[in-house]
C-alpha cells in the first residue's frame, strides 16, 4: 500500500503537555555520552544563563517520537510501521530545552512521495511551551519499505 499524498499539509492537534524533568535530562545525557556539566549540574547550567539543566540537542526526540504516533497510527495515511526505517532527522532551535519546560508538539506532514515501491514521509514537529513559546522544530523522514 502506498502512502496517500493528499496528506501533505495536514496538521494534527497539539499533544498533551510533556513535563521535562531534570533526572530525565541527566539520564538521556548519560545514555548518549554527553558529559557537558550543563546537562547534569544545575549550578553549571545557571552559570551559563539557563534556569536549570540543559537537554542535549537530540533530547526532543523523546517528545517527538511519542507525538509522531498521531501520524503513524492514522489508518488513512497507510503507514505500516513494521516496514519503517529511519531516513533523516534535523533540528532548528529557537532556544534550548531545559528542565522544568512543559512542552507540546504539533505535527505537520510536509512531504509524501512514493518511489520504487517505497513510501517516503517527511514530517515537521513544532515543539513549544504550553504558553506558546517556540522551542524547536524537528523534521523527520521515514521510509516505508515496499513489499519484496
pLDDT value at 148 more than 80: no
25-66 pLDDT, tens digit per residue, is 999 999 999 999 999 999 999 999 999 999 999 999 999 999
For CA atoms 114, 74, 85, 144, the dihedral sign is negative
pLDDT value at 2 more than 90: no
- Domains for the chain: give ranges and CATH numbers: 3-20+54-142 (3.10.129.10)
For residue 1, what pLDDT is reported?
A: 61
Q: Which range has the worst mean pLDDT, 10-14, 26-30, 39-43, 69-73? A: 69-73
Indicate the pTM of the whole model.
0.92
Integer Cα distance of 124 and 103 in angstroms: 15
Question: Mean pLDDT, to the nearest integer, of 65-71?
Answer: 92
The per-residue b/e assignment along 88-102, b for 16 or more CB within 10 angstroms, e otherwise, is eeeeeeeebbbbebe
84-111 pLDDT, tens digit per residue, is 999 999 999 999 999 999 999 999 999 9
When the pLDDT of each residue in the chain is averaged and rounded to a whole number, the result is 95
Three-state SS sequence of the chain: CCCCHHHCCCECCCCCCEECCHHHHHHHHHHHCCCCHHHCCHHHHHHCCCCCCECCCCCCHHHHHHHCHHHHCCCCCCCCHHHEEEEEEEEEECCCCECCCEEEEEEEEEEEEEECCEEEEEEEEEEEECCCCEEEEEEEEEEECCCC
For residue 10, what pLDDT is reported?
A: 96
Amino acid at each position: 500500500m502506498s502512502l496517500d499524498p493528499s496528506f501533505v499539509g495536514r496538521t494534527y492537534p497539539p499533544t498533551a503537555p510533556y513535563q521535562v524533568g531534570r533526572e530525565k535530562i541527566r539520564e538521556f545525557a548519560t545514555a548518549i555520552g554527553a558529559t557537558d556539566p550543563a546537562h547534569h549540574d544545575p549550578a553549571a547550567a545557571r552559570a551559563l544563563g539557563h534556569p536549570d539543566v540543559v537537554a542535549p540537542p537530540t533530547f526532543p526526540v523523546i517528545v517527538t517520537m511519542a507525538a509522531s504516533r498521531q501520524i503513524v497510527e492514522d489508518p488513512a495515511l497507510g503507514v505500516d510501521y513494521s516496514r519503517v526505517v529511519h531516513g533523516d532527522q534535523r533540528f532548528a532551535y529557537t532556544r534550548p530545552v531545559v528542565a522544568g519546560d512543559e512542552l507540546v508538539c504539533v505535527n505537520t506532514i510536509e512531504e509524501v512521495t512514493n518511489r520504487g515501491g517505497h513510501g517516503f514521509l517527511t514530517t515537521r514537529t513544532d515543539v513549544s511551551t504550553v504558553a506558546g513559546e517556540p522551542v524547536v522544530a524537528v523534521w523527520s523522514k521515514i521510509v516505508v519499505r515496499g513489499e519484496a
